[in-house]
Amino acid sequence: MIKPDPDFGRFLDTLLLRKAYRRPPVFDFHVAKEHKARWLGREVKTPADEVEFWVKAGYDYVQCTVFVRAEELAAAIGANQGAAASHGSELGVIRGLQHFRSRDWSWQPAAKGDLSAVKDRLEWLTELVKVLPRSMKIVLHTADVYTLAWEMIGFNEFCLRSIEEPELVREVMQSLADAQLNATKAAVEVAGDRVGAIFYSDDIAYTEGLFLSPKFFRQMLFPMMRPFAEVGERLGAPMIYHSDGRLYDVLDDLYGVGVRGLQPLEPKSMDPLRIKRQWAGKFCLMGNVDLDLMSRGTEQQVEEHVRERIERLNVGGGYMVGVSNTVPHYVKFENYRRMIETVHAYE
């Protein structure tokens, strides 16, 4: 059974490696609306519903995403019957530097300070703060400076342009970064110290390694991530970073940027114990519960798997249990519930 007892202090202690708890916090990213509805017995329609889900499901925080969309990409995906929906975009929405400079793009008003595009999310956040228990805080999520840029340009073309026309890549990424950063700052103005962590997601790797060289990310992406961490640092809200894939080659860089939590630690890509040994005292480990098992396995297998993760990774603290990606609709709800119930059996 889950006995809701949210305590963001426990979450923060674990994230910053300050204290070990026998029962680690649970951290998940983008729980499918179907699972939220199953948990509550109704759809999540209001900020109060959202809070009720995260409380009843045994979390110490509430996630809120404030993100500026690239409307041109969404339109191109729709026109091509979802062609880019699986991150296989070759749509070429942006065709070169002159094309990029020749018109206004949907996110650029936000990059210049006009946040009309996230007005609804800021209003949602305003109401969320009003109903948030004092024992919880908000994990404020933003995303995808690199991912949106390559999707807009097309991945193969993006790779070529990173060498042949780096100005294009830099300008597109910086414009997107400015938009997302302004939205993040606006969200912090709304929520203030009720923000407990900044969560930045941007997939830069696959199972065997980085999509591009470490040098590319050091020059292009990581300097654009640093201001997000600085926004959080002024609040005492550390940065958590999500990327699929193998990240060993840039873990020192991520720590230098301000990242303190790593999620999702896909089992096929990352060995959390290696991180504990080689980067001792630097990162909270978040996730590593196998997504495939959560989708195909039995409840008993999930419980055994979660217990093994806790017993192995929570030695000395610094571990939060969670699915090794998001929690999509195809994860068995019974397995998702059993994962959290297993964590809450530790007292």
pLDDT tens digit string along 248-288?
Answer: 999 999 999 999 999 999 999 999 999 999 999 999 999 99
Residue 87 has pLDDT above 60, yes or no: no
**Confidence class of residue 83 from pLDDT cuts 50, 70 and 90?**
low
Q: Mapping DSSP to helix (H, G, I), strand (E, B) and coil, where does residue 40 land? A: helix
Topology at the third CATH level for domain 8-69+122-146+172-344 = TIM Barrel (3.20.20)
Q: If residue 119 lies in a helix (H) or strand (E), which one and from where to where?
A: helix 119-131
Enter the DSSP assignment of 327. B
Q: Which amino acid is at 165?
A: E
225 has a pLDDT exceeding 50: yes
Q: What is the pLDDT of residues 282-338, one digit of tens each?
A: 999 999 999 999 999 999 999 999 999 999 999 999 999 999 999 999 999 999 999
**In the structure, what pLDDT confidence band is assigned to residue 77 with cuts at 50, 70 and 90?**
confident
How high does pLDDT run on average in the chain?
A: 95
Give the mean pLDDT of 198-213: 97
Percent of the chain whose predicted confidence (pLDDT) is above 90: 93
Please give the angle made by the CA atoms of 261, 267 and 271, to the nearest 5 degrees: 65
What DSSP state is assigned to residue 200? E
Q: Does the pLDDT at position 342 exceed 80?
A: yes
pTM here is 0.96
* Gyration radius from the chain CA atoms: 20
pLDDT tens figures, 107-142: 999 999 999 999 999 999 999 999 999 999 999 999
Please provide the DSSP assignment of 52-86 as one string: HHHHHTT-SEEEEE-----HHHHHHHHHTTSTTTT
What is the per-residue pLDDT for 219?
97
